[in-house]
Structure 1
């Protein structure tokens, strides 16, 4: 396949779905002009995230959309030849999920429901129950949402399923309990970068991390979208501002080089590990 350009988005999205579609259209246009083949939009790009994570208002939740809703189909049409990952609130069988889809103009390539939920989210969403990679025109890919990447098993499950690229879609805020005066000093800001780099390095995969910016209610989002190589090195980033972090790399070649001497997945010893209860 050779080198491709990968874009990770930092941008603000709220409840207005029409505005969200306009912003996504602009972002896809800018990415296409930059030659991007894979674009990862933030979690909750369609309808916004929660305004209060500790005590969500059950009457002011993000609008829930079915997986095959006209809005999701419109994004697939906009994507055309590009692979686009986008987060939304999914309505299915009477439940609501914090979810993401990966689409091209040919339709949906993959889907993920957030598995790990921080306290408070259970009021707004039901949890997903699986991690699965899927094939795309840019390589085999898997998706994580927000808190999923805190748990090493999440990205490891995708890597063991053959994922070469892990897309992490987030609406990740600054610390709620101990907010620092500067974002660079914020505990969650440091953890966000740490998790991105660790998940890439420990699995020797390319990690694409998107995030919301701005604020909603009492939540202030970090931005810090980035593309991380399989050695854990940050190849491109937006810092705290809105924008698209774009990196060009040969995914297959970079992973092969990272695994040339030390192949973490091949050197696992599952028999020595304690099973999760």
Structure 2
């Protein structure tokens, strides 16, 4: 089986939707030229993230999952599978969401479940995690702080996700930040979560993130591709860019799980409060 070429983007997106779409189009074109079939764009790609997490910042523009902006994203995606974050208009409430599209339309949509600091002043929390089928395999999605909770990725892995896409607007430390962003303690946590979630679930992990600054935030970038052994196979570092890697996903999962299968070897009866059933791929 040939490998799946995938990419994760680190870039800066703001309230200017036209400028955001210009960047999206450029990233998709660049990815397509490199043979990428699965592209992850950051949290809040369409409209930018919050200006701060103190509960006073206004929301980005609210967009409907079946609205013209998501349709525009799908048209740009064409034959590629593309994920991108946005502020979802759900009537009287909004969600911090990520959508997965191809030119045929929406394949999946995830609403961020875990909310850091005062993010809940701006968004309603999502209620769950579910994997879904796509032309490039079975995917799961999550957003930023979701990955700090092992249950998030485990729920997706148990639902058969082969690749988990985590889109983020992950900043550097809010207090005592390191002038060298590469040495920032929150950047280190970002990287540790990416590697740990891939390794403990033995899945391919695709991590996109905002870069640069926005409001009071200084983002750590560090978009990456991680293999099922927890090894980083492509990384943008702390600047904008695109991390590209080619992995035979099914083969990588088989090899990683052949001897010690972390999902297979679970003992659910020993931790009944967690539950969960393994869905065979």
Residue 61 of structure 1 deviates from its aligned partner by 1.8
Equivalent residue number for residue 15 of structure 1: 15
Residues in 2 aligned to 1:266 and 1:93: alpha-carbon distance in whole angstroms: 41
Residues in 1 aligned to 2:28 and 2:216: alpha-carbon distance in whole angstroms: 29
Residues in 2 aligned to 1:104 and 1:20: alpha-carbon distance in whole angstroms: 18
Contact map agreement 1:227 1:246 (CA 8 A) in 2: yes
Equivalent residue number for residue 233 of structure 1: 231
Let me know the Cα RMSD of the aligned residues: 1.0
Equivalent residue number for residue 26 of structure 1: 26
Q: Which SS does the other structure have where 2:37 is aligned?
A: strand
Unaligned runs of 5+ in 2: 275-281
Equivalent residue number for residue 186 of structure 1: 184
Equivalent residue number for residue 55 of structure 2: 55
Residues in 2 aligned to 1:101 and 1:18: alpha-carbon distance in whole angstroms: 18
Equivalent residue number for residue 3 of structure 2: 3
Equivalent residue number for residue 110 of structure 2: 112
Deviation by residue 1:71-130 (Cα, 9 ceiling, x = unmatched): 110110111110000000001031010001000011111110000001110111000001
Deviation by residue 1:135-193 (Cα, 9 ceiling, x = unmatched): 01111000010100000000000000000000000000001123122112211100000
Unaligned runs of 5+ in 1: none
Q: Which SS does the other structure have where 1:20 is aligned?
A: helix
Alignment map for 1:56-135 (pairs within 5 Å): 56-57=56-57, 60-135=58-133
Runs of 4+ in 1 over 2 A off after TM superposition: 54-57
Residues in 1 aligned to 2:30 and 2:21: alpha-carbon distance in whole angstroms: 14
Q: Does residue 168 of structure 1 match 2:166?
A: yes
Residues in 2 aligned to 1:72 and 1:147: alpha-carbon distance in whole angstroms: 23
Contact map agreement 2:12 2:212 (CA 8 A) in 1: yes
Q: Does residue 207 of structure 1 match 2:200?
A: no
Residues in 2 aligned to 1:34 and 1:48: alpha-carbon distance in whole angstroms: 26
Q: 1:158 aligns with which of 156, 181, 185?
A: 156
Residue 55 of structure 1 deviates from its aligned partner by 3.5
Report the TM-score when normalising by structure 2: 0.96
